[in-house]
Amino acid sequence: MRKITLSRRDVLKGTSALAAGAAFSTHVMAAAPPASAITPALVEAAQKEGKVIWYTSVDLPLAEKVAKAFEAKFPGIAVRVERTGAERVFQRIGQEYASNIHAVDVANSSDAAHFIVWKKEGLLLPYVPEDVAQFYPAEHKDPDGHFASFRVWVCIIAYNTNLVKAADAPKSFADLLDPKWMGKIVKAHPSYSGTIMTATYQMQRDLGWGYFEKLALQKIMQVQSSADPPKRLALGERSVMADGNEYNIFQIKEKDGSVEPVYATEGSPLIVGPTGMFKAAPNPNAAKLFCNYSFTPECQQLIVDVGGLRSMHPRTKEKAGRKPWKDIKTMKDDPVAVEKMSEEIKTRYSKIFRV
């Protein structure tokens, strides 16, 4: 009952605000609420709540940096980062909601399919931050205002520059099947990582499961998070990663130059990580403020500069030395298909790789 009244009220508010602020935005979607700015009233209400709980799958140190930046800008609101793999985030939220525990305020997942499920289940609160309404391209925001692309990146191949010469480095996914990489590859897991779930979907669609079956014969080292293969490369534990976050590779490369990204000739799987807030958020105002902040040029530039991520906010600048986003050949993302196939992908993957 409560849920219905809430959304009705929102729709009402939406329509009246739409009339009032028609000049502000030219093409607000019919079902989406109007854009919300960071107002002093919102900040004050958020400060009263004093905290915001952010479930995310973004690499932990980066997540904490975003949290610290938010805390510095809005004193008195502590951000607690609940960071784990996107598939775990999804499972935790599901398990908590099934037990009527409403702990999450804002979620950010590297598996865009999760937002389709949450939206379908009516768990998300439509809320459109000003920047999203004004600047974000249509394909990077939900037409009904439930979520938008907080971060975008690709899942790539990379190698350790001390262990592999540039000339010997793989150029394509097919190259990884060369026997010379036997025992030298590290790879993350789609049952943990949303990045790898999304990537596995795109790769089995474009390259076929046969590719994975052959890759499994290479005695890969199986880790969980897509943030881990870059770290294993940095440790020198393996020479090449078959998949993992481009943004972690940038971070490490720019720190000590020990790794180098490879954009596979077949195309790199495109990963989109949306952010949205929950209707039953325990700190609704802080959640709105945090959502809103997430899409500001300030925060977006931070995740680009410090994090190595890509931003869909046109007011951000790409960092020099990184391959420009437009030059990257990506595979096509399809969260709707991922949602339908995720269970099959997990089962099939664990059959092929045995874990």
Partner 1 sequence: MSVLTSTAAERRPARIDFSRPILYGFAAILIVLIVLPLSWLLLYSVTDRAGSLTVENFIRLFSESAFLDPLITTFIIATSSSFLCCAVAAPMGWLVARTDLPMSHVIRALVTASFVTPPFLGAIAWELLAAPNSGLLNKIYRVVTGAPQDEHLFNIYSLTGIIFVISCYTFPYVFVLVANALDRTPGELEDASSILGGKRWYTARRITIPLVLPALIAGALIAFLQAMTLFGSPAILALPAGFHTMTTKIWSLFQYPPKPELAAAASLPLLVLTIILLRAEHMILGRRGYSVVGGKYGTPRLIPLGRGRWPAFALCILVLLNPVFLPYAALLNAAFAPVASHFLTFSTFTLHNIEFVLFELSATKLALRNTVILGTATATIGLLIALVIAYVTARKAVTGHRLLGFLATAPVAIPGIVLGVGLFLSYTRPPFVLYGTLWILLIAFLTISLPSAYQQLQAAFRNIHPELEDASRILGATRLQSLRQITAPLLRTSVIATWCFIFVGVMRELSAAIILFTSETKVISVLIYDLNESGDLGAISVIGIAMLLITFAVVIMVNRIPGFGVTSVRLRT
**Which of 195/202 has CB closer to partner 1?**
195
Take residue 2 and report the two structure tokens written for it: 């409560």
**Which of 90/153 has CB closer to partner 1?**
90
The site for partner 1 (CB under 8 A) is made up of 53, 55, 59-61, 64-65, 67-68, 78-85, 87-88, 90-92, 94-96, 98-101, 103-104, 163, 183-184, 191-192, 219-225, 227-228, 231-232, 234-238, 256, 343, 350-351, 353-355
Q: Rounded to the nearest whole angstrom, what is the least distance from the CB of residue 61 to partner 1 in the complex?
A: 7
Dist CA 146 CA 128 (whole Å) = 7
Which residues, in sequence order, are CB contacts of 20 under 8 Å at separation 6+?
A: none
**Which of 200/225 has CB closer to partner 1?**
225
In degrees, rounded to 5, the angle at the alpha carbon of residue 101 between the alpha carbons of residues 96 and 103 is 90
Distance separating the N- and C-terminal Cα atoms of the chain: 43
Per DSSP, the chain holds a count of helices (H) and strands (E) of: 13, 13
Dist CA 122 CA 2 (whole Å) = 12
Provide, for the chain, the percentages of residues in helix, strand and coil under a 3-state DSSP scheme, each rounded to the nearest 5.
Answer: 45, 15, 35
Q: Rounded to the nearest whole angstrom, what is the least distance from the CB of residue 191 to partner 1 in the complex?
A: 6
Q: Rounded to the nearest whole angstrom, what is the least distance from the CB of residue 64 to partner 1 in the complex?
A: 4
**Which of 133/299 has CB closer to partner 1?**
299
Q: Rounded to the nearest whole angstrom, what is the least distance from the CB of residue 186 to partner 1 in the complex?
A: 8
**Which of 323/346 has CB closer to partner 1?**
346
Q: Rounded to the nearest whole angstrom, what is the least distance from the CB of residue 75 to partner 1 in the complex?
A: 15
Of 301, 33, 297, 287, residue with least CA distance to 141: 33
